A and B are shown apart, each in its own frame.
Chain A
Amino acid sequence: MNSFFKPSLDIDINLDNEDNRLCHEIINNKKGIVEKIPIYEDGESISGTITLRVRGEGKKVEHQGITISLIGGIDIKDTTASSNTFLQLTADLFTPGDLLNTQTTHFNFKNCQKQYNSYKGSNVDLNYYLKVKVNLLNKTPITKYKKIWVNIYDEITKLKPKPIKLDIGIENCLHIEFEFGKNFYSLNDLILGRIYFLLNRLKIKKMELCLITRESVNNSGKSKVSESVPVSYEIMDGSPVKGETIPIRLFLSGYNLIPTIDLGSFSVKSYLSLVIYDEDGRRYFKQAEIDMYRTRD
């Protein structure tokens, strides 16, 4: 029954060298599948082959022109507002005419600019995709989409790192200083630091270093914030006395971290958070913002 409504045309989008291309994996727990999206960089050409196959022996499809577009846009969930598109490149594949049997054509968005990193968050996504559109006379066009994942590599060698030094305390109870080597990190970086205990009258059970990713969306004046904690790493067990120094060393490359994004409509930021748990279950914490970059090394 469905076949009646099926479009009379099958469209396949095949990217060049797709099998060997690195893919971004999105685990969809509901469906129990892993979605693989090929990864592209900024300025990298996106090329491929479009295969159009007319269904039924000897049939033909009369069309008003076939185009392919590369689209980048921000989708904010739970809003009616249409996607905020920041990129749209379109190329004609076929001029209006008839399609018979199977036709293949090649496309190439040569050295196209991709401004932002792809992002998939809880309230907002930043998506890139290819769209093939077959315009029909007096009919809704037949479309086909293919997702593209964009990773932007930052050049940070020129950035000067500043150490993060923070001094926190509760009067007559706890006084610690902590120090991280840098205020920005690459995604496969190593966080090094130290914590000095200047005073401790708490009965500390343990201390953890967490990396928090905070996504905040600005939607017509309303802002929505959501946090995730991709890293939670125990760095101290037991209660130190004054004068103790606790080392910090955290390898980041094993975690799925996201580079910092700061756009008008939404931002994704990372924070290092030090959490102290005392014996009575209380928690004490202090956060410091860090910038995350994706680098090429």
Chain B
Amino acid sequence: MQNNSDLIKQDSFTIIRQQKVLIVRLLNEISVINNNGSNLIESFKHFNILLLELKKESDSPKEYYELYIEVYDVLTILLNYLKANHLKLFHLTDIYELIQYSNNLVPRLYLLITCGVAMLGFNTFPHIEILKDMIEMLNGVQHPIKGMFLRYYLLQRCKFIFNDEKKAVSNEFKIDFLIANFIEMNKLWIRLQYQGQLREKSSKLKERKEVELLIGYNLVQLTEVLDLEEHNLSLKLYRENTLPRILKQVISCRDIISQEYLLDILFQIFPESYHCDLTCIDLYLSSFLKLTPKTNISKSVVTLIDQIISQADQNKEENHKSTLDGGILFDKFLKFLKYLNEERPDLPFKDFIVILSPLISLVLKLIDPESLKLRLDCLDAVFSFINFKKRDYAITDEINFLLKRVFFSIKDFIEPDSSLPYSLLVECPNVDEFLLNSGSDFIRYEMLDMIIKYRIQDKSQIPLKDLSRLLKHFETNSYTIMSKSELVFKIFYMLVDSKVIISSSFEQSITDQFESLQYCKNWVLNLKIKYAKADQKGKIDFLTNGLVSQYWRLLKKIITLRKSKQKKIFEKFDKTLLKQIFKNLGGLIFEVNHKKKMLSSLVLSVDLAIQLNLHNVAFDFLESILNEINQNFDINDKYNVLLLLIEFLQKDRQYFIKNSLQDKFEQICVKVTVKSFEMNDVFLKSTLLLTCTHLWWTSDIDENNALKYNNENNGKRIHEIMNKLIQQITSNSLVTNYQLCFVLIQLLNKAIYYFIHGEIEFFTIQYLNNIVKLLKNNLKFLERENRLYLEQIQIVQEDTPDKDFSIDDLFLNFDGEIASTEDKEVDPDVNLINFKKNLLLFDSFENIKTYVLEQGSLDERFNLLTI
């Protein structure tokens, strides 16, 4: 079959070439005898034979095109001959008639056009009449391929007329002519779909695609005609004359391939500036509404918008003042969308969605950021449309994906410091709704991320009225809150203004910020109720803590005020508001599940209360802390909290004394000491208690850099605590020698401290010597342990490698364990560790000895110590 058609094709080529040879011979022979043009008449016979090849039906448009090219070539010989010999050998009018005797239509018309075109080369002939006649006669060819190629032939040959600037033929006529040809060609092209044998639809489509350029050629010629005019006039011609007619054909042809192709090339062929004309845009949009159901409308709409945007870019590049008003354009497109929605309920959702991204780009590109603030309704309207449409469709993954893209088209435009995302969320209820209902958390996160980034840059606080809108987005499901708690944290951060501007409105601003904090507090509390079970990783605790620190920031601002020169403002400050803040804060802190954090926060809050001179608040907090420290509490946490508390109390001791709050303070200190005694771990207990001793002792330095004795110091109480500690550890049989020695060394250190700082009533030489004696006795046991260990090692040493007995870089931690200043690997041998621990203790004791000896030269009392 294939071979057969190849043969036929080869035959056709052979015929064409043979005839060409004969024709060339006839037309080149300019003999005297044949000066009446009879050679030409003779040649027509051959032309007819040759042209019959184009009358045959070809297998495919492609093959037909190959033949056409060959024939075109030969017809060019004729054309040149006709032009060259007019009036010399014949008159073209006669030839024009003579040609028409050819019985076969297709050959006749090729000859007619060739002759007609030859006539168009002379001004003596009426151009318009000839053009009209040619195009009219072409109607006889109703066969799609043959007709299209004939009309294409006409276009190719008449090109010089269309490009002619002299306007021998008016541009209006040229446009009419080209549009008429275009319409007929398009009709033929569509007919190709239905003509001939019923073949596979796909092969028909392929055939149509092969010849689509022929149609486009009409439009290419049209632009050339329009180009001959000044821009304003050419635009007018396009708008009023050309485009409406093209679009009319696009609509009335009701063919999908044609509509899609034509709309596509329309935008490609004609310059962007034409498409941006408002009237033209109206024409486009109204014709899009009338397209055949299956035609891809959205593609055309998108192309149109792209053209407008690209024109706008070009204007910008060339620094032309753009006449494109983004707002007006947007309104047009929105109106179109709404019409489309009404008129075409059959269109799938995604066809609408794909239009939206470019539309958003249009708004963002064509409306400058300042004006956009007044036209946020544009963007809101886009999302309003989405929200509205979403109700009617099942939201598939694909839809979600597309919606995401719509949203990201905004993102792509946003400068890092733009306030747009924030304004969108706050001022566009539909954007807000879209985000809330979007199936994809991802979109929401991106948006919130952008907002938050901007706000961080902006450093301004988030007002209360916007807060609920923001936070709503985190409540939707437990996953959001769990995975995006950092974002919420950042929001919390932005509740409190970082700048401290002390002015008359200071109090008001504090009140406002406090209200926001309160709102968030309630929000967090609700969250806790709602998602307590889902919150495995303590993210809500994280948030609660985060919020607590914002309260602190707020309070610190007030402290800054208090410490500033404008104390008067602080004095006028509403103290009930302060108390209110603390009350709130306290309530919030108690919601923290993590006890250590909760208590630490309380301790820090007490500090703030003190700084704001709110003793009652401070004591309330302290009481609560002590109530909270009870038995069911991790020992290390308890230790840490107590230590923190002790250190804090110690720091503010002077404050309490100055404000005649000594009694109350004393009570608290006693309670803390009692709590410290309750510790089970010997090391932790001793550390805590020894720290506690400072609660009754303040060492001040006077102007001469000398130690100053403070009347409020209470050596007796310290002595009591120490004695009680010694008593407890010596009487407890569970305490090891090592533990005992460790505590005694600490204790000795502390005792020496008070001894140096002038406590003479209780920390006598006698007392110190007793401790040393006790220590020395116990150290002997440890020495023996070490000796035994070494002996044991020597016995088995032969088959074990050398052990590292060095204690360089090692020290003892507060919990009695070895720590290293470097990351040394600890030998897992327990005996070896104990050996080293002992060595370290000896070392510590040696240090004390050295110290005492050195002090002896400064302070005679030290010489009396028997170390």
Contacts and interface: CB of A to CB of B under 8 A. Distances in A.
A235 B102 CA distance: 11
Given A232-B103, A251-B101, A254-B101, A238 B143 contact: yes
Interface string A196-219: 000000001010000000000000
B140 A251 contact: no
Contacts of B106: 237
B191 interface: yes
Interface in A245-297: 245-247, 249, 251, 254
A238 B146 contact: yes
Given A238-B147, A241-B191, A233 B142 contact: no
B139 interface: yes
B101 A235 contact: no
Contacts of B140: 235-237, 246-247
A239 interface: yes
Given A237-B142, A238-B144, A247 B100 contact: no
Interface string B157-193: 0000000000000000000000000000001000100
Contacts of A244: 139, 142
Given A247-B136, A249-B137, A251-B97, A238 B104 contact: no
Interface string A217-247: 0000000000000001111111111001111
Contact of B195 (A233, A234, A239, A245): A239
Interface in B78-107: 97-98, 100-101, 103-106
A233 B140 CA distance: 12
Contact of A237 (B97, B136, B146, B191): B146
22 contacts: A204-B142, A206-B105, A232-B103, A233-B103, A234-B108, A235-B105, A235-B140, A236-B105, A237-B55, A237-B140, A237-B146, A238-B141, A238-B142, A239-B143, A239-B195, A241-B187, A241-B191, A244-B139, A247-B136, A249-B100, A251-B97, A251-B101
Contacts of A251: 97, 100-101
Given A232-B103, A251-B101, A237 B195 contact: no
Contacts of B55: 237
A175 to B, nearest CB: 16
Interface in B108-159: 108, 136-137, 139-144, 146-147
A241 B136 CA distance: 17
A237 B110 CA distance: 13
9 nearest interchain CB pairs?
A238-B143, A238-B142, A240-B142, A234-B105, A237-B105, A254-B101, A236-B140, A237-B143, A237-B141
A245 B138 CA distance: 11
B127 to A, nearest CB: 19
Nearest to A234: B105
A28 B225 CA distance: 58
Given A235-B105, A237-B105, A245 B143 contact: no
Given A233-B103, A237-B143, A237-B147, 9 more contacts: A204-B142, A235-B105, A237-B55, A237-B105, A238-B141, A239-B142, A241-B191, A246-B142, A247-B136
A232 B103 CA distance: 7
Nearest to A233: B103
Nearest to B195: A239
A294 to B, nearest CB: 20
Contacts of B187: 241
Interface of B: 55, 97-98, 100-101, 103-106, 108, 136-137, 139-144, 146-147, 187, 191, 195
Contacts of A238: 141-144, 146-147, 195
A245 B104 CA distance: 18
A240 B187 CA distance: 10
Contacts of B100: 249, 251
A247 B143 CA distance: 15
A254 to B, nearest CB: 5
Given A239-B195, A247-B137, A251-B97, A234 B142 contact: no
B259 to A, nearest CB: 18
Contacts of A236: 105, 140-142
A251 B191 CA distance: 31
Contacts of B139: 244-247
A273 B55 CA distance: 23
Nearest to A197: B142
Nearest to A255: B101
- Which residue, B100, B108, B142, has most C-beta atoms of chain A within 10 A? B142
Contacts of B146: 237-238
Contacts of B108: 234
A249 B105 CA distance: 11
Contacts of A254: 98, 101
Contacts of B144: 238
Query: Which of A204, A238, A251 is packed against the most chain B CB atoms within 10 Å?
Result: A238
Contacts of A206: 105
A247 B133 CA distance: 10
A236 B106 CA distance: 9
Contacts of A234: 103-105, 108
A235 B142 CA distance: 10
B185 to A, nearest CB: 13
A255 to B, nearest CB: 8
Contacts of B105: 206, 234-237
Which has the most chain A C-beta neighbours within 10 Å: B98, B101, B105, B187? B105
Contacts of A204: 142
Nearest to B145: A238
Contacts of A246: 139-140, 142
Nearest to A235: B140
Nearest to A243: B187
Nearest to B137: A247
A240 B188 CA distance: 9
Contacts of B142: 204, 236-240, 244, 246
Nearest to A208: B103
B497 to A, nearest CB: 76
A241 B192 CA distance: 12
Nearest to A194: B139
Contacts of A237: 55, 105-106, 140-143, 146-147
B112 to A, nearest CB: 10
A244 B141 CA distance: 11
B143 to A, nearest CB: 3
Interface string A137-166: 000000000000000000000000000000
Most buried by B among A237, A239, A251, A254: A237
B340 to A, nearest CB: 30
A291 to B, nearest CB: 23
Nearest to A245: B139
Contacts of B101: 251, 254
A5 B147 CA distance: 71
A297 B101 CA distance: 20
B365 to A, nearest CB: 45
Nearest to A239: B142
Contacts of B98: 254
A236 B139 CA distance: 8
A277 to B, nearest CB: 12
Interface in A37-52: none
Contacts of B136: 247
A204 B144 CA distance: 12
A247 B104 CA distance: 14
A158 to B, nearest CB: 27
A195 to B, nearest CB: 9
Nearest to B136: A247
A239 B147 CA distance: 11
A235 B141 CA distance: 8
A235 B195 CA distance: 19
A239 B141 CA distance: 9
A232 B101 CA distance: 10
